[in-house]
Amino acid sequence: MTSLTEHIIKLTDHRDRDLLELTLAKAMVKLLPIDRVVIARVMSEEGVKRWLDIATLDARGGGKVQDPLRVEFDKLPLLEDERYRMRSLQERGLVEHAWAGENGPRISYMPLFLDSRNDEEGVIEVHSGSSLTQPQLDVIGDLHHVFTNMYNLLAYSDRDALTGLLNRKSLDDTFYHAVLDELGELEGADKTREVVVAPGQERRHRVPPNYWLGAISVDDFGAMSDKHGHLIAEEVLLLVARIMNNTFRTYDRLYRFGGKQFGVLMHCPDEALVLAAFERFRANVEKFNFPQVGRVTVSAGFTRITPDDSPSTSLERAERAVDYAQHHGKNQVFSHPELLRRGLLVDTNKVGEIDVF
């Protein structure tokens, strides 16, 4: 039987926040006499909030892990559909639901994030045969404490200091650990074959992944900074980041690459939907009244990610679409594949073998 110390070591071994919830769930299942652990996060899209079960593990084996980038948001349960989860969030504490009588099995709910300054929300859901004892709650508390410390530490290293958006390092990590892994798995495979799953896990069909990387640049940012000063220019960047958070989906990855440059990594089945998302953002920036500056616009471009891509090659294509927008009137969004189809850009991959770093 593994010890609490061993599981704490596993939690502190990680350099990837996306694995922390699963490691926490594994530790609880291994250390406690419980039936199941579910770790759920709150996701939002256009003001609607829903539950996503990030990790589900059963003591007898089986379970599933969900990638937020690949969920179908409209099929997730609404926040109000899970009233005990809601109560735990609202009361910021332990809530028990004895669903088969006071002395029978129950589900215990507790907030995943205890820091009220954290915009992220979630719950830990523990299924057990009876009420959790104080020693068992102490073990959960110790694991939860370590999880929280590691999550905040990794979040700090992954974030841009000014805007709080993800940084360039985080893009590299997601690209290599998630996006390219899945693209590589499916390249040349039968896209309709069933996947072998653990006992009790839902059977699914593979579908071709559709990952897109977008780049965004604030138009005339240098002139704005010269005219209004550095502090006002930083305020513009902060407000652009806020508009990004309010426009794109919770599970889209939002980045600031430095200076006036921003980025978005998303999973979307259709190029037209990606274009519509970037157009919404562009329009939201244009209609926003920036204090002391007034009207600000952005130019954006995006590209589909392929199995042969690196973060640099895909970002270079997206930035070429941004450059096209800025040289043809600004305040526009262009798809790099569409510019190629229309003959307005030349595919640099086909005209040379030299990479520039």
Question: Would the pLDDT of 247 be above 90?
Answer: yes
Read off the DSSP letter of residue 127: E
Long-range interactions of 149-152: CB distance < 8 A, separation 24+ = 150/11, 150/12, 150/14, 150/20, 151/17, 151/20, 151/113, 152/115
Q: Domains in the chain and their CATH numbers?
A: 4-158 (3.30.450.40), 168-350 (3.30.70.270)
pLDDT at 14: 64
Of 267 and 286, the one with more pLDDT: 286
For 24-83, write each residue's pLDDT tens digit: 999 999 999 999 999 999 998 877 899 999 999 999 888 888 888 888 888 999 999 999
Q: How confident is the model at residue 17 (pLDDT cuts 50, 70, 90)?
A: confident
pTM (global) more than 0.85: no
Average pLDDT value for residue range 169-180: 78
Say if CB 106 and CB 95 are below 8 A apart.
no
pLDDT at 97: 95
Average pLDDT value for residue range 279-285: 97
Of 191 and 2, the one with more pLDDT: 2
- Please give the full DSSP string across 153-184, using - where no structure is assigned: HHHHHHB-TTT-SB-HHHHHHHIIIIIHHHHH
- Please give the full DSSP string across 258-304, using - where no structure is assigned: ETTEEEEEEE-S-HHHHHHHHHHHHHHHHHS-BTTTB---EEEEEEE
Question: Would the pLDDT of 209 be above 50?
Answer: yes
pLDDT at 201: 36
